Structure 1
Amino acid sequence: MKNAAPDIDTYIAEFPEDIQAMLQEVRATIHKAAPEATEAIKYAIPTFVLKGNLVHFAAFKNHIGFYPAPTGIKAFEKELSVYKQGKGSVQFPLDEPMPLALITRIVEYRVKQNTEKKKK
Protein backbone atom coordinates (compact mmCIF):
# COMPACT_ATOMS: atom_id res chain seq x y z
CA MET A 1 0.00 0.00 0.00
CA LYS A 2 1.33 3.43 -0.88
CA ASN A 3 1.76 6.12 1.72
CA ALA A 4 -1.24 8.30 2.46
CA ALA A 5 -1.25 11.76 0.92
CA PRO A 6 -0.61 14.50 3.50
CA ASP A 7 -3.63 16.54 2.36
CA ILE A 8 -6.57 16.48 -0.03
CA ASP A 9 -4.83 18.58 -2.70
CA THR A 10 -2.00 16.04 -2.88
CA TYR A 11 -4.46 13.13 -2.89
CA ILE A 12 -6.43 14.58 -5.81
CA ALA A 13 -3.27 15.47 -7.76
CA GLU A 14 -2.34 11.76 -7.89
CA PHE A 15 -5.20 11.00 -10.30
CA PRO A 16 -5.72 11.67 -14.04
CA GLU A 17 -7.22 15.07 -14.89
CA ASP A 18 -10.75 13.80 -15.56
CA ILE A 19 -10.84 12.06 -12.16
CA GLN A 20 -9.31 15.13 -10.51
CA ALA A 21 -12.18 17.21 -11.89
CA MET A 22 -14.75 14.79 -10.43
CA LEU A 23 -13.01 14.72 -7.05
CA GLN A 24 -12.83 18.53 -6.97
CA GLU A 25 -16.54 18.67 -7.81
CA VAL A 26 -17.38 16.34 -4.90
CA ARG A 27 -15.04 18.29 -2.61
CA ALA A 28 -16.63 21.64 -3.53
CA THR A 29 -20.12 20.18 -3.03
CA ILE A 30 -19.19 18.99 0.46
CA HIS A 31 -17.64 22.37 1.30
CA LYS A 32 -20.78 24.16 0.20
CA ALA A 33 -23.05 21.87 2.24
CA ALA A 34 -20.78 21.98 5.31
CA PRO A 35 -18.80 25.24 5.19
CA GLU A 36 -17.62 24.90 8.79
CA ALA A 37 -16.17 21.43 8.26
CA THR A 38 -12.41 21.02 8.08
CA GLU A 39 -10.47 18.80 5.70
CA ALA A 40 -8.24 15.93 6.74
CA ILE A 41 -6.83 12.68 5.47
CA LYS A 42 -8.11 9.76 7.54
CA TYR A 43 -7.91 6.11 6.59
CA ALA A 44 -5.67 7.38 3.72
CA ILE A 45 -8.62 9.13 2.01
CA PRO A 46 -10.11 12.65 1.98
CA THR A 47 -12.28 13.30 5.02
CA PHE A 48 -14.41 16.18 6.19
CA VAL A 49 -14.61 16.66 9.93
CA LEU A 50 -17.26 18.54 11.91
CA LYS A 51 -17.81 17.43 15.49
CA GLY A 52 -16.38 14.08 14.42
CA ASN A 53 -15.98 12.46 11.02
CA LEU A 54 -18.62 13.81 8.67
CA VAL A 55 -17.98 12.12 5.31
CA HIS A 56 -15.09 10.56 3.40
CA PHE A 57 -14.61 10.14 -0.34
CA ALA A 58 -12.08 8.40 -2.56
CA ALA A 59 -11.34 7.56 -6.17
CA PHE A 60 -11.10 4.02 -7.48
CA LYS A 61 -10.68 2.44 -10.91
CA ASN A 62 -14.39 2.55 -11.81
CA HIS A 63 -16.08 4.72 -9.19
CA ILE A 64 -15.92 7.47 -6.60
CA GLY A 65 -16.51 5.99 -3.18
CA PHE A 66 -18.56 8.13 -0.82
CA TYR A 67 -18.69 7.27 2.88
CA PRO A 68 -21.37 9.09 4.91
CA ALA A 69 -21.48 6.42 7.66
CA PRO A 70 -24.20 3.76 7.84
CA THR A 71 -26.75 6.31 9.10
CA GLY A 72 -26.18 8.50 6.04
CA ILE A 73 -26.78 5.54 3.75
CA LYS A 74 -29.88 4.41 5.63
CA ALA A 75 -31.47 7.88 5.59
CA PHE A 76 -31.21 8.05 1.78
CA GLU A 77 -31.80 4.37 1.12
CA LYS A 78 -34.34 4.86 -1.66
CA GLU A 79 -32.30 7.42 -3.63
CA LEU A 80 -29.08 5.43 -3.20
CA SER A 81 -30.69 2.13 -4.23
CA VAL A 82 -29.55 2.60 -7.84
CA TYR A 83 -25.89 2.52 -6.73
CA LYS A 84 -23.70 -0.30 -5.46
CA GLN A 85 -23.37 0.02 -1.68
CA GLY A 86 -21.66 -1.29 1.41
CA LYS A 87 -22.65 -0.83 5.05
CA GLY A 88 -21.52 2.80 5.18
CA SER A 89 -20.52 3.45 1.59
CA VAL A 90 -21.86 4.03 -1.87
CA GLN A 91 -20.14 3.82 -5.25
CA PHE A 92 -20.81 6.51 -7.84
CA PRO A 93 -19.67 5.20 -11.27
CA LEU A 94 -17.09 7.30 -13.09
CA ASP A 95 -19.03 7.08 -16.35
CA GLU A 96 -22.09 8.82 -14.88
CA PRO A 97 -22.55 12.39 -13.63
CA MET A 98 -21.91 12.77 -9.92
CA PRO A 99 -25.24 13.13 -8.06
CA LEU A 100 -24.22 16.44 -6.49
CA ALA A 101 -27.69 17.40 -5.23
CA LEU A 102 -27.94 14.05 -3.45
CA ILE A 103 -24.43 14.42 -2.01
CA THR A 104 -25.44 17.87 -0.72
CA ARG A 105 -28.52 16.48 1.05
CA ILE A 106 -26.54 13.63 2.59
CA VAL A 107 -23.82 15.98 3.86
CA GLU A 108 -26.42 18.36 5.31
CA TYR A 109 -28.04 15.38 7.04
CA ARG A 110 -24.69 14.28 8.47
CA VAL A 111 -23.95 17.85 9.70
CA LYS A 112 -27.28 17.85 11.55
CA GLN A 113 -26.58 14.40 12.95
CA ASN A 114 -23.09 15.25 14.22
CA THR A 115 -24.23 18.57 15.65
CA GLU A 116 -27.13 17.00 17.55
CA LYS A 117 -24.94 14.13 18.75
CA LYS A 118 -22.43 16.58 20.27
CA LYS A 119 -25.21 18.51 22.06
CA LYS A 120 -26.23 15.40 24.01
Structure 2
Amino acid sequence: CGYGYLGLVLMPLLPEGSKYTGIDSGETLLSEARELFRLLPYETEFLEGDATEIELKDTYDIAICHAFLLHMSSPKMMLKKMIHSIKKGGKIICFEPHWISNMSSYSLDGENQSEIIRLGALHRL
Protein backbone atom coordinates (compact mmCIF):
# COMPACT_ATOMS: atom_id res chain seq x y z
CA CYS A 1 0.00 0.00 0.00
CA GLY A 2 2.51 2.63 1.06
CA TYR A 3 0.65 5.90 0.60
CA GLY A 4 -1.89 4.30 -1.75
CA TYR A 5 -0.37 5.08 -5.15
CA LEU A 6 -1.98 2.11 -6.91
CA GLY A 7 -5.36 3.07 -5.48
CA LEU A 8 -4.97 6.63 -6.74
CA VAL A 9 -4.21 5.32 -10.22
CA LEU A 10 -6.73 2.49 -10.37
CA MET A 11 -9.84 3.76 -8.57
CA PRO A 12 -10.83 6.21 -11.34
CA LEU A 13 -10.73 3.26 -13.79
CA LEU A 14 -12.85 0.86 -11.74
CA PRO A 15 -16.66 0.70 -11.66
CA GLU A 16 -18.51 3.01 -9.29
CA GLY A 17 -18.87 1.42 -5.88
CA SER A 18 -15.46 -0.25 -6.00
CA LYS A 19 -13.50 -0.31 -2.76
CA TYR A 20 -9.73 0.03 -2.31
CA THR A 21 -8.09 -1.79 0.58
CA GLY A 22 -4.45 -1.02 1.29
CA ILE A 23 -2.28 -3.11 3.59
CA ASP A 24 1.02 -1.88 5.00
CA SER A 25 3.09 -2.54 8.09
CA GLY A 26 3.89 1.15 8.53
CA GLU A 27 1.39 3.45 10.23
CA THR A 28 3.14 6.57 8.90
CA LEU A 29 2.50 5.63 5.26
CA LEU A 30 -1.04 4.53 6.04
CA SER A 31 -1.72 7.91 7.67
CA GLU A 32 -0.50 9.59 4.49
CA ALA A 33 -2.76 7.32 2.43
CA ARG A 34 -5.79 8.15 4.59
CA GLU A 35 -5.05 11.85 4.20
CA LEU A 36 -4.65 11.57 0.41
CA PHE A 37 -7.95 9.71 0.02
CA ARG A 38 -9.89 11.71 2.63
CA LEU A 39 -11.47 14.14 0.17
CA LEU A 40 -11.72 11.74 -2.77
CA PRO A 41 -15.02 10.05 -3.66
CA TYR A 42 -13.72 6.50 -3.14
CA GLU A 43 -14.51 3.93 -0.50
CA THR A 44 -11.25 2.90 1.15
CA GLU A 45 -9.93 0.78 3.97
CA PHE A 46 -6.35 0.83 5.22
CA LEU A 47 -5.09 -2.06 7.32
CA GLU A 48 -1.92 -1.93 9.37
CA GLY A 49 -0.17 -5.26 9.67
CA ASP A 50 1.93 -7.94 8.08
CA ALA A 51 0.33 -8.99 4.79
CA THR A 52 1.52 -12.55 5.40
CA GLU A 53 -0.53 -12.74 8.60
CA ILE A 54 -3.77 -10.94 7.68
CA GLU A 55 -6.58 -13.36 6.76
CA LEU A 56 -8.85 -12.14 3.96
CA LYS A 57 -10.68 -15.17 2.57
CA ASP A 58 -12.83 -14.76 -0.56
CA THR A 59 -12.97 -11.00 -0.04
CA TYR A 60 -11.82 -9.30 -3.25
CA ASP A 61 -12.49 -9.34 -6.98
CA ILE A 62 -8.90 -8.23 -7.66
CA ALA A 63 -5.72 -8.50 -5.57
CA ILE A 64 -2.83 -6.34 -6.78
CA CYS A 65 0.73 -5.91 -5.63
CA HIS A 66 3.56 -3.77 -6.94
CA ALA A 67 7.25 -4.27 -6.13
CA PHE A 68 6.19 -6.46 -3.21
CA LEU A 69 6.89 -10.12 -3.92
CA LEU A 70 10.55 -9.46 -4.60
CA HIS A 71 10.91 -8.47 -0.94
CA MET A 72 9.25 -11.61 0.41
CA SER A 73 11.26 -14.51 1.80
CA SER A 74 8.53 -16.81 0.45
CA PRO A 75 6.82 -15.21 -2.58
CA LYS A 76 4.99 -18.47 -3.37
CA MET A 77 3.34 -18.40 0.06
CA MET A 78 2.28 -14.79 -0.51
CA LEU A 79 0.83 -15.65 -3.93
CA LYS A 80 -1.18 -18.44 -2.29
CA LYS A 81 -2.51 -15.94 0.27
CA MET A 82 -3.47 -13.59 -2.56
CA ILE A 83 -5.28 -16.43 -4.34
CA HIS A 84 -7.05 -17.24 -1.06
CA SER A 85 -8.13 -13.58 -0.72
CA ILE A 86 -10.00 -13.34 -4.03
CA LYS A 87 -13.53 -14.43 -4.80
CA LYS A 88 -14.15 -17.23 -7.29
CA GLY A 89 -13.29 -15.89 -10.74
CA GLY A 90 -11.20 -13.07 -9.25
CA LYS A 91 -7.89 -11.86 -10.66
CA ILE A 92 -4.40 -11.38 -9.28
CA ILE A 93 -2.14 -8.74 -10.80
CA CYS A 94 1.52 -8.45 -9.80
CA PHE A 95 3.99 -5.85 -11.05
CA GLU A 96 7.42 -7.01 -9.97
CA PRO A 97 10.21 -4.87 -11.36
CA HIS A 98 13.70 -6.11 -10.78
CA TRP A 99 16.99 -4.35 -11.26
CA ILE A 100 18.00 -7.02 -13.77
CA SER A 101 15.42 -5.57 -16.19
CA ASN A 102 17.53 -2.42 -16.35
CA MET A 103 20.33 -4.59 -17.70
CA SER A 104 18.20 -6.38 -20.29
CA SER A 105 20.06 -4.79 -23.18
CA TYR A 106 23.47 -5.71 -21.75
CA SER A 107 25.25 -8.68 -23.21
CA LEU A 108 27.71 -10.88 -21.41
CA ASP A 109 29.37 -12.94 -24.11
CA GLY A 110 28.59 -16.59 -23.57
CA GLU A 111 26.59 -16.02 -20.39
CA ASN A 112 22.87 -16.42 -19.79
CA GLN A 113 21.74 -13.72 -17.34
CA SER A 114 19.06 -15.94 -15.87
CA GLU A 115 21.81 -18.39 -14.92
CA ILE A 116 23.91 -15.67 -13.31
CA ILE A 117 21.18 -14.21 -11.12
CA ARG A 118 18.70 -16.72 -9.73
CA LEU A 119 15.34 -15.19 -8.85
CA GLY A 120 14.01 -18.15 -6.90
CA ALA A 121 10.25 -18.67 -7.28
CA LEU A 122 9.93 -15.46 -9.30
CA HIS A 123 12.25 -16.95 -11.92
CA ARG A 124 9.67 -19.66 -12.66
CA LEU A 125 6.65 -17.32 -12.84
Work out which structure has the larger RCO, using CA pairs closer than 8 Å and 6 or more positions apart in sequence.
1
TM-score scaled to structure 1, two decimals?
Answer: 0.27
TM-score (norm 2): 0.27
User: Between Structure 1 and Structure 2, which shows a larger proportion of helix residues?
Assistant: 1
